[in-house]
Amino acid sequence: MAGGGNNTKCLTNMAAFLILQAAIILILAFTVMRVHGPKLRLGMVTVDSFSTSNDTSSPSFNMRLTAEVTIKNTNFGVFKYGNGTMSLAYNGTVVGDVAIAKGRAKARDTAKFNVTVDVMSSRLTSTASLGTDMNSGVLTLGGDAKVRGKVELLKVMKRKKSGVMDCALSVNLATRAVTTKCK
Ligand SMILES: *[C@@H]1O[C@H](CO)[C@@H](O)[C@H](O)[C@H]1NC(C)=O
Ligand SMILES: *[C@@H]1O[C@H](CO)[C@@H](O)[C@H](O)[C@H]1NC(C)=O
Ligand SMILES: *[C@@H]1O[C@H](CO)[C@@H](O)[C@H](O)[C@H]1NC(C)=O
Ligand SMILES: *[C@@H]1O[C@H](CO)[C@@H](O)[C@H](O)[C@H]1NC(C)=O
């Protein structure tokens, strides 16, 4: 038996094994174990009921919208979130809000659900520019939401993450079509 040769071979194999293991751990650290916050967006938004007045002396709007909220989880673990709120604002003032019920988005999946929100211009303190805005035929609202929760990896690792929504909704007052744009 050539003992020395075998020993060297054995050490070489061991070194190769350790290097491979380190590489696997590094790859995992940069992919699977890397935790990102979820992305909140608005999907389709429809107008259920609608009444507006673009009379320049007292412009107003009252709308009930159904909005699809999506929570995209790119992580390799489930994202569990608590109750949150979504609000719609006209020129920075909240004109409608709705609760987002706690839930979960599965690993590398997108949770989708619909919320119904009533939007009322009576919540505005000033309607100074509203008439002009409405006479342009398009009402633009900002959509904001936040959910806080945890991403669970391998059942044991939990990392706190939150997701925010930053969207703009344009309601076409003639056709009632709503287009959304999210960051
Ligand atoms: C979440 O909201 C639901 C319904 O509004 C309520 O019953 C529950 O107590 C809330 N949970 C927390 C932790 O706030
Ligand atoms: C939300 O509502 C729209 C229109 O009613 C429907 O097409 C869509 O499937 C709903 N989405 C979910 C996740 O329920
Ligand atoms: C938005 O509100 C501010 C006051 O908060 C007002 O000065 C401004 O004219 C408004 N702009 C529009 C486009 O409504
Ligand atoms: C209200 O706006 C619509 C366009 O959306 C326009 O056709 C109509 O003339 C406007 N009414 C008034 C009173 O300005």
pLDDT in tens, 128-169: 888 888 889 999 999 999 999 999 987 788 999 999 999 999
124 CA from centroid of ligand 4 (Å): 21
Residues with CB under 6 A from ligand 1: 82-83, 99, 101-102
Closest listed ligand to the CA of 58: 4
145 CA from centroid of ligand 1 (Å): 16
Question: Which pLDDT does position 3 carry in this prediction?
Answer: 52
Stretch among 17-21, 57-61, 165-169, 174-178 having the lowest mean pLDDT: 57-61
Which ligand 4 atom sits nearest the alpha carbon of residue 174?
5
96 CA from centroid of ligand 1 (Å): 19
CA 94 – CA 124 distance, rounded (Å) = 8
Answer yes or no: is pLDDT of 1 > 70.
no
Instruction: Count the neighbouring beta carbons within 10 Å of the beta carbon of residue 23.
Output: 10
Question: Which pLDDT does position 128 carry in this prediction?
Answer: 81
| This prediction's pTM | 0.81
Question: Which pLDDT does position 4 carry in this prediction?
Answer: 58
pLDDT in tens, 50-86: 898 877 788 999 999 999 999 999 999 999 999 999 9
**Amino acid found at 164:** V
- Specify the residue with its C-alpha closest to ligand 4, atom 13: 55
Longest CA–CA span in the chain (Å) reads 103
